[in-house]
Amino acid sequence: MMTASDDPWLRADAEFPSGGTLEEQIQYLIGYATLAPSAHNTQPWLFGTGPNWVDVLADRARALPVVDPHDRELTISCGAAIGIFEVAARRFSLQATIALLPDPEYLDHFAQITVAASKPPDEGEVVLFDAIKNRRTDRSAYFMEGFPDDLAPACCAAVETAGASLRFFEDSPAIKTIAGLVAEADRLQFEDPNFRRELASWVHSTRLISRDGMSGAGFGMPDILTPAARFVIRTFDLGNNVAAADEKKILAGSPALALLTSKSDGVVDWLNTGRALAKMLLLLTSRGYTASYLNQPIEVGALRPALREAAGVTALPQILLRIGRSEKMPAPSLRRVLSEVMITT
Ligand SMILES: Cc1cc2nc3c(=O)[nH]c(=O)nc-3n(C[C@H](O)[C@H](O)[C@H](O)COP(=O)(O)O)c2cc1C
């Protein structure tokens, strides 16, 4: 039986072990890190702790070889978990110092985070922390309205602290061109039976035991309850049911797009993109905004140059988001319990 303390969404912030050892505190913080977004909710991370550090490792058994053949999104997902850990540490007057790829011989070791006592958080840090449990990937149509003038610059600043860059598109002709590329890439992906099979294998019923993957409801479909229904997903094109399938739908529900880019395409760039993504999503959440992903023209490598051109960037596109406000916050997606993501080193 799961208890509230097993589910990282439900654990009370007040239960942080202030009087415990630093290692116990680090273990508590890992619960927040696991609330990070990840591609297909694969949660491709493992953590090992020491007296004043945590190691973040790739769990490549959770890779998505069809949609993500180079583990780029897997790495970005782990970077997002690192970013959330950093934010959570500050809330409890701790400072996380990140060493990316600390062991060149062992490339699954993405980061060693050293944690030390520090000054109390400022108001902005507390606000970001409070957003951790309210952040969701929200695939619904957003209100078509303008944004406060300071939102895009604040997002750019949040992203730059992690060494990534951001282009924000609002009221821009580029949105239509980019939406067309998303729709084209989405069609190409769904034409591939291997892509459909891989996606289907991560779409579970929320009533199944597995605490990863996505429920059908998260994709705007009725939840998938039976093996027969899952067979249908594997066999038929889901294109019409997925939010990104059609350009008009994207344009009608996306008041702004945001493109996260990096200078190059290495593991460190991807980890920093994930850290930047986490910080930006928390900032958006704290301001009442939400986001969802339109990564298709990045995942379909042949369309990435066209995306660069449409977006007017020379850097490499890593994550494409639609941003806005929606009617209601979706339910949280499931997370594995802490004991499943902890390793003893
Ligand atoms: C690197 C990365 C890529 C993602 N790609 C997509 C995507 O292409 N389409 C989508 O709908 N969601 C995408 N997501 C969102 C995940 O599906 C989502 O984070 C996961 O299901 C957990 O849900 P949550 O974000 O609400 O906690 C992506 C997330 C990450 C971190």
pLDDT tens digit sequence for 283-298: 999 999 999 999 999 9
Can you give the C-alpha Rg of the chain in angstroms?
19
CA–CA distance from 263 to each of 44, 133, 242 (Å)? 24, 31, 31
Q: Return the H-helix or E-strand segment holding 292.
A: strand 290-293
C-alpha–C-alpha distance, residues 251 and 248, integer Å: 5
Q: Which of 7, 9, 34, 40 is the best mutation target for the ligand 1 pocket, counting ligand atoms within 8 Å of the beta carbon and taking the most?
A: 40
**pLDDT value for 232:** 54
Ligand 1: which atom is nearest the Cα of residue 138? 26
Residue with CA nearest ligand 1 atom 1: 73
Token duo for residue 137: 């990937």
Domain boundaries, the chain: 13-135+331-341
Q: What residues in the chain have per-residue pLDDT under 70?
A: 1-4, 206-208, 216-245, 345
Give the pocket of ligand 1 (CB within 6 Å): 37-41, 73, 76-77, 80, 136-137, 139, 214, 292-293, 295, 333
Q: Report the amino acid identity of residue 172.
A: S
The residue nearest atom 19 of ligand 1, judged by CA position, is: 37
Q: Is 43 left (phi over 0), alpha (psi -120 to 50) or beta?
A: left
pLDDT at 141: 87
13-135+331-341 architecture in CATH? 3-Layer(aba) Sandwich (3.40)
pLDDT of 4: 60
pLDDT of residue 6: 79
Over the stretch 230-269, which tens digit does the pLDDT of each residue have? Answer: 555 545 444 444 445 578 888 888 999 999 999 999 999 9
